[in-house]
């Protein structure tokens, strides 16, 4: 059978896999362009959730009865699938979290608290999501570390020359986003990692936006930590992944105390479990962990490169179409981008843009996108953001353009 390409993807068939798309909003067919916030879920994911709850709902790892063993097997199979998705060296290097935010906090509060000290420097970037700013600020306040920030240029790209100037023997940790949620910029993380390692620093990459668009090979990157969320790649909410190198995870203390993360407990002393379980206290998000395997398998069936190529075509089409609208300015014009368009319209507040588009059944995100320092860098309070997924079409982009013309007509 001939391998599919992005030209042969059957988008209408793909759209039928996403039942939520088949509805009207305010009397208009739904156009869902808020995929950077969360993607919709295909039938295989929805069916996986139903199968678990209807067929083998049970707590995992400790039960010896049939349902518990079946649930445990599915849970750990999902871990192995994610190992392959990231090309991690060992399955034990895959830690289940509640999302990207939880993964970053885990590293900051375990590795950071144990290994960073007063005067050590942490580098982040101007384009970080608040989830990759606040945990490091909290750590700096507690430990007396110094937070340094990589600036961005007018196109929304990191200025690598300035990054190099920030690096020194005092740099102990670098934490940057792989892809900007607000701009769509793809950062040169391979270079960032290599330069950080050259001064002895460890590196965390926030892959929340990259995971559904870019092939990720943590061994090739030689990254120390990588985090992402399932709900950004057609999986369920409330489930995320932290990859960490074995030696680092084993050296880090537990993040939470409770069941599963222990080997033995007495009132005098607790012996902690091995990784990954040392970081997975309590009953986990079993159903969603199991269902993310279906999301990854769905993407594999379509072909991740095919998805990325199709979405890039949508991005190019939308960039040209929106650039023709009078008074509209794109924010973030990096050479390397995923399918995200942020924009402002002269004289119109971004929230008004979102409300009027919603009246036409078009869902976009408005606001600062949890990236207020980045918005301030561009001298704005927020943008309207349209972000595309594999089930979106050029016809929907045409509706967005029509909707934006209506925005201008109503507001100016």
Write out pLDDT tens, residues 313-331.
999 999 999 999 999 999 9
DSSP characters over 292-356: HHHHHHHHHHH-HHHHHHHHHHHHHHHHHHHHTSTTEEES---SSB-SEEEEEETTB-HHHHHHH
What does the pLDDT read at residue 27?
Answer: 97
What does the pLDDT read at residue 3?
Answer: 46
Token pair 């960039």: residue: 319
Q: Please classify residue 281 by burial: count the beta carbons closer than 10 Å to its beta carbon, then call 0-12 exposed, 13-18 middle and 19+ buried.
A: middle
Give the mean pLDDT of 399-410: 97
Q: Which stretch of DSSP H or E encloses residue 248?
A: helix 246-251
- Examine domains 11-42+303-411 and 47-300 and report if their fold is the same: no
In CATH, which of 3.30.70.580, 3.50.50.60, 3.90.79.10, 3.90.1150.10 is domain 11-42+303-411? 3.90.1150.10
Whether residue 2 is predicted with pLDDT greater than 50 in this model: the reply is no
What does the pLDDT read at residue 6?
Answer: 61
CATH number for the region 47-300 comes to: 3.40.640.10
* Cα gap 210→204, rounded to integer Å: 14
| C-alpha dihedral, 61 to 66 to 71 to 77, nearest 10° | 90
- The pTM score is 0.96
Local confidence band at 1 (pLDDT 50, 70, 90 cut-offs): very low
* Cα gap 320→318, rounded to integer Å: 5
- What share of the chain in percent tops pLDDT 90? 91
Local confidence band at 5 (pLDDT 50, 70, 90 cut-offs): low
The strand order across the sheet containing 383-387 reads: 328-330, 340-345, 383-387, 365-367
Residues 53-110 have pLDDT tens digits of 999 999 999 889 999 999 999 999 999 999 999 999 999 999 999 999 999 999 999 9
- Domain ranges for the chain: 11-42+303-411, 47-300
Give the mean pLDDT of 111-117: 97
Residue 118 CA from chain centroid, whole number: 31
Residues 365-395 have pLDDT tens digits of 999 999 999 999 999 999 999 999 999 999 9
Number of alpha carbons in the 13 Å side-chain half-sphere of residue 71: 26
What does the pLDDT read at residue 80?
Answer: 98
Number of alpha carbons in the 13 Å side-chain half-sphere of residue 62: 10
Contact present, 129 and 370 (Cβ < 8 Å): yes
DSSP-based three-state secondary structure for 36:
coil
Give the single-character DSSP code of 110: I
Mean per-residue pLDDT of the chain: 96
Whether residue 256 is predicted with pLDDT greater than 90 in this model: the reply is no
Catalytic positions = 370
What does the pLDDT read at residue 273?
Answer: 83
What does the pLDDT read at residue 269?
Answer: 87
Q: Spell 153-186 as b/e; 16+ CB within 10 A means b.
A: eeebbbeeebbeebbeeebbbbbbbbbbbbbbbb
| C-alpha dihedral, 356 to 372 to 162 to 169, nearest 10° | -150
Residue 326 CA from chain centroid, whole number: 33
Whether residue 362 is predicted with pLDDT greater than 60 in this model: the reply is yes
* Cα gap 384→386, rounded to integer Å: 7
- What share of the chain in percent tops pLDDT 70? 98
């Amino acid at each position: 059978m001939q391998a599919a390409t992005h030209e042969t993807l059957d988008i209408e068939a793909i759209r039928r896999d996403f039942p939520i798309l088949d509805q009207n909003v305010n009397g208009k067919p739904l156009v869902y362009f808020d995929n950077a916030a969360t993607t919709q879920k295909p039938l295989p994911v929805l069916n996986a959730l139903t199968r678990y709850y209807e067929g083998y709902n049970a707590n995992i790892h400790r039960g010896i009865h049939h349902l518990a063993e079946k649930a445990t097997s599915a849970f750990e199979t999902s871990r192995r699938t994610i190992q392959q998705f990231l090309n991690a060296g060992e399955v034990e290097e895959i830690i289940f979290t509640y999302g990207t935010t939880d993964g970053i906090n885990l590293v900051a509060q375990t590795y950071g608290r144990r290994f960073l000290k007063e005067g050590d420097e942490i580098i982040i970037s101007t384009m970080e999501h608040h989830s990759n700013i606040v945990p490091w600020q909290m750590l700096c306040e507690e430990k007396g570390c110094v937070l340094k920030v990589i600036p961005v240029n007018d196109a929304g790209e990191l200025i690598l020359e300035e990054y190099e100037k920030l690096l020194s023997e005092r740099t102990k940790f670098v934490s940057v986003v792989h892809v900007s949620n607000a701009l769509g910029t793809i950062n040169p993380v391979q270079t960032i990692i290599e330069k950080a390692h050259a001064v002895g620093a460890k590196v965390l990459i926030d892959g929340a936006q990259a995971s559904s668009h870019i092939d990720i090979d943590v061994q090739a990157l030689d990254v120390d930590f990588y985090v992402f969320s399932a709900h950004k790649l057609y999986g369920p909410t409330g489930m995320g992944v932290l990859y960490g190198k074995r030696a680092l995870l084993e050296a880090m203390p537990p993040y939470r105390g409770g069941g599963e993360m222990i080997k033995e407990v007495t009132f005098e002393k607790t012996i902690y479990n091995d990784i990954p379980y040392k970081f997975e206290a309590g009953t986990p998000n079993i159903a969603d962990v199991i269902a993310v395997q279906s999301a990854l398998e769905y993407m594999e069936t379509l072909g991740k490169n095919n998805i990325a190529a199709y979405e890039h075509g949508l991005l190019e089409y939308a960039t040209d179409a929106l650039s023709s609208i009078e008074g509209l300015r794109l924010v973030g014009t990096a050479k390397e981008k995923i399918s995200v368009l942020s924009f402002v319209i002269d004289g119109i507040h971004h929230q008004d843009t979102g409300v009027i588009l919603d009246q036409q059944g078009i869902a976009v995100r408005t606001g600062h996108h949890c990236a207020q320092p980045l918005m301030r860098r561009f001298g704005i309070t927020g943008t309207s953001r349209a972000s595309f997924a594999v089930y979106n079409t050029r016809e929907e982009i045409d509706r967005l353009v029509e909707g934006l013309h209506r925005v201008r007509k109503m507001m100016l």
